A and B are shown apart, each in its own frame.
Chain A
Amino acid sequence: MKLSARIAAPAVALVLAGLTATACGAPQTSDTGAKKDEKTGTLRVWLFQEVGNKPKEKVVDAAVAGFRKTHEDAKVEIEYIPVETRAQRVKAAFNDPKSAPDLIEYGNTDTAGYVKDGGLADVSAEFAAWDDAEDTDPTAKESVTVDGKVYGAPLFVGVRALYYRTDVFADLGIKAPKSQAELISTAKKIHKEKPDLYGLAVGGAYTYGAMPFIWANGGELADGSGSAYKAAINSDKARKGIEAYTSLFGDTNCPAAKCAAMGGNATVTAFAAGKAAMAVGGDFSHTAVEAGTVRGKYAVVPLPGLAEGSVAPAFAGGNNIGVLRSTGHRTLAVDLMKALTGKETQAKMFDAMGFLPTYTDVRADAAKREPFVAPFVTTLGSGTKFVPASPAWGQIDSSLILPTMFQEIVSGRKDVAKASDDAAKKMDAAFADAG
């Protein structure tokens, strides 16, 4: 009796506290909107720390020097933040404007989420009036756009294509696959002939490597736009793509016990280490593959689509630079954003880091200078796809809904129909939450 009273009292108090408390009891930043627009002072910028960051720093420094020539009263402080912990850093910046930077680099799948969080400034007017922006390719522009408003400038795009081992292919007397069916049969053939190699390295947690299979079959992740998205991952076409991708797991190509847990980096690492005959890798994976044991023994072609000779639509990844809504130097910050993402800087960034420019003309020039990127430029040119521009995407991505679906299928827990229905249900819940 005494005991239950002792438990009951705090419990009741807790409930009462919850019931009577107003929302302002929970910690919240009341208003992060900017109140002033100073024309002097220090601009703080957060950029991502890349593997081998020195060349990037040089290009950025040159762009900043150009900016300072026309804005002598402004100072610029650049900080390179680790990619792995960016989510926490950026969230913290949104929550505490005092310690927040003026500009940030961000992954383009985060755009809608950051806009919903109220973190990014709308720069539609400045973007429209900017000469360089005319040549921005449509997918890149889509990746900074939410509900028709522009929230930053694209810095580079990244797409994935098919890396394959030229020596293995020559050895077996086969050619690079031309269609999805041929890709799958080639992968199985290689694994049969050379059991030590994965035919095509695939990963259950490699969402962006699996997407092209779904898109090539005419499937979509979700239908709709703006706040009204509906999951389409369980449509018949999408299921065909899921079936095609998951058929690559198993003893005939990539054993589920090892491959179910792999993500994008793990598959590229397996290829670079000479454990796979093929892998879906990005233009940004080039350095990692070059550093591996397969250097000089591989080539890249666009990932084949359904029809012979077609290209599977690739996911248009990449990063943008945006101005924070809380900045006290809006005009200066927008000018610096232009300096950092302009044509000149992007051309230099490509030479230094291999990041593909977002301007169609600059990209075409780049492909002439460096033949390696040709298959990636072809992939971009034949149409790319983007994840739903919904704030829910961040949540769908980070709560591992799609990796869970693939893993459930390849580990034999659920069939394609059931797993995709469950994933669609979870995606719809996320869309509803965000709407």
Chain B
Amino acid sequence: MTSNSTAYKAPTAPGTDGPPLRPLRRRRPASPAGRPGRTPWLYLLPALVLLGGLLVYPIYQLGLISFLEYTQAQVSGGEPATFQGFGNYATLFRDSQFWQVLLATVVFAAACVLATLFTGCALAVLLTRVRAVPRLALMMAALGAWATPAITGSTVWVFLFDADFGPVNRVLGLGDFSWTYGRYSAFALVLLEVLWCSFPFVMVTVYAGIRAIPAEVLEAAALDGASQWRIWRSVMAPMLRPILVVVTIQSVIWDFKVFTQIYVMTGGGGIAGQNLVLNVYAYQKAFASSQYSLGSAIGVVMLVILLAVTLVYLRLMRRQGEEL
């Protein structure tokens, strides 16, 4: 497919305005490719307008505000907004708390992504191995978790792990152990909740992918005596690579941007801000403290990091010979 289309395009590419390179009877199918300048753009126009309005413009504003002195006084017209250059970024990068929060965010997001992918893939494989009734039960449970709004899920989890009234401590015999007091136990609790509400997406997507793998391939592997792990590693995973790439990128983006769970479960960032992640930190700066410009600068930094991670990841995948 890929090689076909490149071979087909190659001769027509240089001749944007020149005489057709092909005999006249090939003219009709060749015409859209013969003038690559306009027609595709015409079709893309509605989508581009929408994307431009809904995506590019806000990002432009975000970038712009991050270069201004922009607090509540500027928004309500009490003072003029002044241009700060990279002043906000300098303030941010000098703030030692920012680096701590950035590190915590990266580690926390990485742990969430790994846990989500592992759980999601393992349960997807499990789904293919069990009978209809347990499969339905697992599916329903996962979809229920998926459909639960993050704020509801977080509130329920906090209650479940409450030091005084929570059933979890009672069942585990932990007494009045406070999960949210220690830094790591609080992050662990939030990680469990994030895992709970984001593994279903991975599971369902990967399960759909596995079902699309021809049965005879798997059967052949099984007949050759491959273990379940070996089948996954050597047959399923390579065939599922495009899907895995998508769910990984999605998970990275989601888990890097986690907000609700931290905000609700640790009361806005935990004891003395020990559980802050970038998104909550940006919110505290931008909205709680009305330092919109500093909040925007954090937003831009997050955007750049996520773009970089995504591009590098795609690059790596492409280098391994996979066309996405």
> Does B289 make an interface contact (CB < 8 A)?
yes
- Do B288 and A398 touch across chains, with their CB atoms under 8 A apart? yes
- Do A411 and B271 touch across chains, with their CB atoms under 8 A apart? yes
* Separation of A31 and B289 alpha carbons in the complex (Å): 23
**B59 CB to closest chain A CB, in angstroms?**
8
> Does B60 make an interface contact (CB < 8 A)?
yes
- Do A7 and B288 touch across chains, with their CB atoms under 8 A apart? no
* Separation of A160 and B231 alpha carbons in the complex (Å): 68
Kindly list chain A residues whose C-beta atoms are within 8 Å of the C-beta of B67: 18-19, 21
With beta carbons under 8 angstroms apart, the residue of A22, A27, A395, A433 that contacts B61 is A27
- Do B60 and A17 touch across chains, with their CB atoms under 8 A apart? yes
- Do A3 and B76 touch across chains, with their CB atoms under 8 A apart? no
* Separation of A14 and B163 alpha carbons in the complex (Å): 48
1/0 contact string of A356-368 vs chain B (CB within 8 Å): 0000000000000
Say yes or no: A28-B72 contact (C-beta < 8 A), given A7-B311, A18-B63: no
- Do B75 and A399 touch across chains, with their CB atoms under 8 A apart? no
**B256 CB to closest chain A CB, in angstroms?**
18
Task: Please choose the segment from B12-20, B174-182, B215-223 that sits at the chain A interface, where 4 or more of its residues have CB less than 8 A away.
Answer: B174-182
- Do B180 and A261 touch across chains, with their CB atoms under 8 A apart? yes
Dominant SS at the A interface? helix
> Does A400 make an interface contact (CB < 8 A)?
yes
> Does A118 make an interface contact (CB < 8 A)?
yes
* Separation of A20 and B288 alpha carbons in the complex (Å): 30
* Separation of A18 and B296 alpha carbons in the complex (Å): 13
1/0 contact string of A115-147 vs chain B (CB within 8 Å): 011110000000000000000000000000000
Measured CB to CB, the nearest residue on chain B to A119 is: B76
Chain B contact-residue range equals 35 or more
> Does A5 make an interface contact (CB < 8 A)?
no
Task: Please choose the segment from A50-58, A170-178, A252-260, A283-291 that sits at the chain B interface, where 4 or more of its residues have CB less than 8 A away.
Answer: A252-260
With an 8 Å Cβ cutoff, the count of chain A residues facing the other chain is 46
Kindly list chain B residues whose C-beta atoms are within 8 Å of the C-beta of A30: 77
- Do B68 and A23 touch across chains, with their CB atoms under 8 A apart? yes
- Do A3 and B315 touch across chains, with their CB atoms under 8 A apart? yes
Q: How many A-B residue pairs have CB under 8 A?
A: 120
Say yes or no: A23-B82 contact (C-beta < 8 A), given A399-B284, A408-B272: yes
> Does B273 make an interface contact (CB < 8 A)?
yes
Kindly list chain B residues whose C-beta atoms are within 8 Å of the C-beta of A49: none
Kindly list chain A residues whose C-beta atoms are within 8 Å of the C-beta of B272: 403-404, 407-408, 411, 413
Kindly list chain B residues whose C-beta atoms are within 8 Å of the C-beta of A95: 75-76
Say yes or no: A3-B311 contact (C-beta < 8 A), given A17-B63, A261-B271, A395-B290: yes
With beta carbons under 8 angstroms apart, the residue of A394, A395, A400 that contacts B273 is A400
> Does A29 make an interface contact (CB < 8 A)?
yes
**B312 CB to closest chain A CB, in angstroms?**
9
> Does A371 make an interface contact (CB < 8 A)?
no
- Do A94 and B291 touch across chains, with their CB atoms under 8 A apart? no
With beta carbons under 8 angstroms apart, the residue of A7, A14, A113 that contacts B72 is A113
- Do B72 and A404 touch across chains, with their CB atoms under 8 A apart? no
- Do B163 and A258 touch across chains, with their CB atoms under 8 A apart? yes
Say yes or no: A404-B273 contact (C-beta < 8 A), given A29-B76, A399-B289: yes
> Does B307 make an interface contact (CB < 8 A)?
yes
> Does B70 make an interface contact (CB < 8 A)?
yes
Kindly list chain B residues whose C-beta atoms are within 8 Å of the C-beta of A32: 76-78
> Does A9 make an interface contact (CB < 8 A)?
no
> Does B149 make an interface contact (CB < 8 A)?
no
Chain B positions 232-279 with a Cβ under 8 Å from a chain A Cβ: 267-269, 271-273
- Do A26 and B180 touch across chains, with their CB atoms under 8 A apart? no
- Do A26 and B70 touch across chains, with their CB atoms under 8 A apart? yes
Chain B positions 81-122 with a Cβ under 8 Å from a chain A Cβ: 81-83, 85
Measured CB to CB, the nearest residue on chain A to B308 is: A7
Q: Which residues of B contact A (CB under 8 A)?
A: 60-61, 63-68, 70-83, 85, 163-164, 176-178, 180-181, 267-269, 271-273, 284-285, 287-291, 307-308, 311, 315
The 13 listed contacts between A and B (C-beta, < 8 Å) are A3-B315, A7-B311, A17-B63, A28-B77, A88-B287, A95-B76, A113-B72, A117-B73, A118-B77, A258-B164, A258-B181, A398-B288, A408-B272
The 5 closest A-B pairs by CB, nearest first: A118-B78, A94-B76, A18-B67, A407-B272, A23-B81
Known: A21-B83, A398-B290, A400-B284. 6 other contacts (CB 8 A): A26-B68, A95-B75, A261-B271, A391-B73, A394-B290, A407-B272
